[in-house]
Amino acid sequence: MKKTLLLAGLTIVFIGSAVAQNSTQQDIENAYKSSIDPSSFKTHLQRLTERPHVAGSENNKMVQDYIYNIMDKATFKVEQYPYDVYIPATPGVSLIEIVTPKRQTLTQQEDILKEDPFSSDTDLWKGWNSFSGSGDVTAEVVYVNYGTREDFQELQTLGISVAGKIVLARYGKNFRGYKAKFSELNGAAGLIIYTDPKDNGYATGLTYPEGPYFNESTIQRGSLLTVDYTGDPLTPYEPALPLKGKKKVKRLDPSKVGLHTIPVLPISYGEAQKIMQQMQGDPVPAAWQGGLPFTYRIQGGTDLKLRIKVDQPINYTPVANIVGTLKGAEFPDEWIILGCHFDAWGFGATDPNSGTAMLLSLSESLGRLAAKGYRPKRSIMVAHWDAEEHGVIGSSEWVEQMGEVLGAKAVAYMNFDGGVSGKNFGASASPTLKQLIIDASKSVNYPYNDQTLYEFWKQPEAAQVNIGNLGGGSDHIAFYMHVGVPSLSAGAGGPTPYHSNYDSFHYYSTFVDPEFKMGPTIEHLAGLMALRLSNKTIIDYDINRYAIDLKTHFSNATNKVKSIAPDFVGFLFSQEALLSLEKASKELSLSLNMQKEYDVPVKNMKAINAQLIALEKSFIEDEGMDYGAWYRSLYASTDPFSGYASWMLPGIEYEVALKRSENLGAWDIRYASAIDRLTAKMNDLNSYLSSFDGGVF
């Protein structure tokens, strides 16, 4: 019986391989497009967002199970990767009140709306910021604008101290964790964060439920975790494996990690108004004025006192990633990875589960495609990350767990966090993947007019589409900035009820995409990118883009340096290295294009592709960045002062931010060495290719 089944299995594989071998890439892409079920995205989104599902909750475990089952039915090999991570599993106990001149307790949760049946769900929690310090503080209040590093510097210039005060900051301009960090560094006793209507509210358009923007009760939740690495705060460089597992991982002492100690809470602008309209201090600088209908003041005055109380336990919490693999037919050890997290602050309809639903539908489509005989040449992995909202934890732990294996096998990581959150389109990517997005977008129809997605994306007056550079804030960080896997982030966007209790299926079906056409559109795009990377015998990196982008980055860096050191003559070693890189990349590109015309033996193709995968690692150094050695990429990093912005050539960016120039020569040498490493790898690969007569191996 076993032999019969084995032979049947081999017959199926043979037929499938034969179909794929006799088909063109266009045949495969046509078959993929016909495999997409336009109704699947909506079905998955509705199921995923039935209940609020914060990381560590029972509801989130139900979402895990749903994802696992769908992936399994789609014929992916599904694995669960469990971890015990150090996070707050619940908001704990909290309170904000005006103490004087008249006692008033402020509301910490969104209004229940008759128009939105989801808003009355009993599993919805009040507004909270995970990794807040615990404490009970009564003090005067100081408004600090967005709470950026520059805002606190401005207060110092004005001679205003926040020491011992409760500071009030609006969301925006930087990661909320840095608002807490800078507040604490400047001696504040507590922090309250709100979304100003000028940034998202009645000043930007109609508010929910009449429109898509924040109403007077909407609250943005979010993590404050701000350490000099990404992932579980107690296990940098190591995965936070289960405490009762076979392999033991040494964990740091929580008291020595540098977690926040001051209490922090978010509120709505309706509640913030109750505080701010009573403030009696100096008028704010013009740029600090928000959208509430009165003059903003910096100080509250001695008569206005607030109380903020937070008791938020932090402990070990079980979480788990779900990763499915569709094994490649020819190069199973070369991986194309697509991912999105699934944990949310509430229902998570836009963030993140529009991306989750799209990836589930994509998995089903790829499974149907494989069943027709079109199995990809490389393995396609679809990953669903847990605990992202608490600090990009699940994906970081997986990257740390996979380690060098990931660095050797991963061709690309594609992130789709909240990937179908509107009807606009945008993307950011590492250099070698930018052309992949452009080309794929030209093959996808935009569903709401007669344009391609590329044509819709491209601004009429622009010569080309704008592809951004990857910054912080999502699951590409560890892949790209820690181990050097080429990465991209793409998707549809628009106004959302970000991190609020209103991010529900009702909101999505009313304001985001009532026709549910963008889900299949982004699925089509994601699938094309995955299949093209998978099926090209030689990995289809745009290697010429390194030199092009690096020239731009060094030009920008030089201009920034001259703002602090006017006599700076430039990064001479790096500029010289770039000339060699440009020459090497052009030569290698020509050689690779020649090889694509020949039937190359698999063993030689594996060697070629291994060298291509290694290119991005030229920028990875164990020494890492001065602000955090975990960030090992010399090429790109998150901005350590904002948390979200993209820093290109981060070693130089850090020097500029600190307004110091004495280390620039050393950085020039380090960057030139990295570029030389990249050039050497390209030359070595070119020599390997040219060692074969006429391209015949």
| pLDDT (tens digit per residue) in 479-530 | 999 999 999 999 999 999 999 999 999 999 999 999 999 999 999 999 999 9
pLDDT tops 70 at residue 108 = yes
Of the candidates 187, 175, 193, the residue with the CA atom closest to the CA atom of residue 96: 193
**pLDDT number for residue 12:** 30
d(CA 524, CA 519): 9
Output the CA–CA distances (angstroms, integers) from residue 556 to 342, 527, 560, 654, in the order listed.
37, 34, 6, 14
d(CA 596, CA 529): 19
Six token digits for residue 673: 């060495």
Output the CA–CA distances (angstroms, integers) from residue 335 to 82, 324, 393, 595, in the order listed.
21, 12, 21, 22
- Kindly state the DSSP code that residue 259 receives in the 8-state scheme: -
93-224+260-312: what fold?
Glucose Oxidase; domain 1 (3.50.30)
- 593 or 328, which is more confident? 328
The CATH architecture annotation of domain 545-695 reads: Up-down Bundle (1.20)
**pLDDT number for residue 690:** 85
Residue 339 in 3-state DSSP? strand
Q: Which of 252-266, 293-307, 587-601 bottoms out in mean pLDDT, i.e. has the lowest?
A: 587-601
Contact 676, 583 (CB under 8 A): no
Nearest-Å Rg of the Cα atoms of the chain is 26
- Kindly state the DSSP code that residue 510 receives in the 8-state scheme: I
The string of pLDDT tens digits covering residues 165-218 is 999 999 999 999 999 999 999 999 999 999 999 999 999 999 999 999 999 999
Q: How far is CA 214 from the centre of its chain?
A: 23
**pLDDT number for residue 695:** 45
Q: Across the chain, what does the average pLDDT equal?
A: 94
Omega before 101 within 30 of 0, i.e. cis? yes
Query: How many helices (DSSP H) and strands (DSSP E) are in the chain?
Result: 19, 18
**pLDDT number for residue 598:** 61
Residue 132 binned pLDDT confidence (cut-offs 50, 70, 90): very high
Report the CATH superfamily, name and number, of domain 2-86+318-535: Zn peptidases (3.40.630.10)
d(CA 238, CA 398): 9
Q: Phi and psi of 4, rounded to 5°?
A: -65, -45
Report the length, in residues, of the chain: 697
What are the start-end ranges of the H helices in 623-663? 650-657
**pLDDT number for residue 10:** 32
Q: What integer is the mean pLDDT of 45-72?
A: 98
**pLDDT number for residue 16:** 40
pLDDT tops 70 at residue 472 = yes
Residue 15 binned pLDDT confidence (cut-offs 50, 70, 90): very low
Does this model's pTM top 0.85? My answer is yes
Six token digits for residue 391: 């600090």
Q: Where are the domains of the chain?
A: 2-86+318-535, 93-224+260-312, 545-695
**pLDDT number for residue 325:** 98
**pLDDT number for residue 696:** 43
Of the candidates 541, 555, 679, 665, the residue with the CA atom closest to the CA atom of residue 618: 679
Six token digits for residue 600: 């190359």
Q: Which residue(s) pair with 492 in the sheet?
A: 420, 425
